[in-house]
Amino acid sequence: MSTEDNALISLVYTSTASAPFRETALSHLLDQARVLNGSRDITGMLLYRGERFIQVLEGPAHIVRRLARTIGQDARHRDMRILMDEAIEERRFDDWTMGYRKLQADRDQAPEGFRDSFADLEHADERSTTLRALAELTLWFRVRADRGVTV
């Protein structure tokens, strides 16, 4: 196996659920992902809202890319689009085998600059748009983890 295969990468994709996910189905999916990811040295996070997924997977290149191919064939979702696949020096989600957050509308007014949708990523061809969104997601998760919100 080459050094390139063992290099860390971050892969980000979006997809659409084939059918709405109930909380129990999401819980089961996350339980499976956490166990498997822990054994494969994969970290990352998953967001679900309005039948849309956005997921970040981090780990050794050959493992992450194989997992992405497997995920792409999963009948529970469709229209998978890889937004980013890049080498990284360090993980953004190093302590999460799969952080998760179901996005729901907040009752309070959103602060200026708040991202309520990732619709701009659907057709984004500019890498800078994806990188900015990933930075926002990472910060969003970190703030909630620091506040003790389960992810």
Highest mean pLDDT among 14-18, 90-94, 123-127: 14-18
Which residues sit opposite 56 in a β-bridge?
12, 45
Q: Domain locations in the chain?
A: 3-102+120-146
Strands of the sheet containing 77-87, edge to edge, are 77-87, 8-17, 52-60, 43-49, 99-102
- Residue of 25, 38, 52, 30 lying closest to 116 (CA atoms): 52
Please state, for a pLDDT cut of 90, what percent of the chain lies above it.
28
Is the CATH number 3.30.410.40 carried by domain 3-102+120-146? no
Q: What is the pTM of this model?
A: 0.72
What is the predicted pLDDT for the residue at 60?
A: 96
Predicted confidence band at 61 (pLDDT cuts at 50, 70, 90)?
Answer: very high
Compute the distance between CA of residue 118 and CA of residue 67 in angstroms, rounded to an integer. 23
* Total residue length of the chain: 151
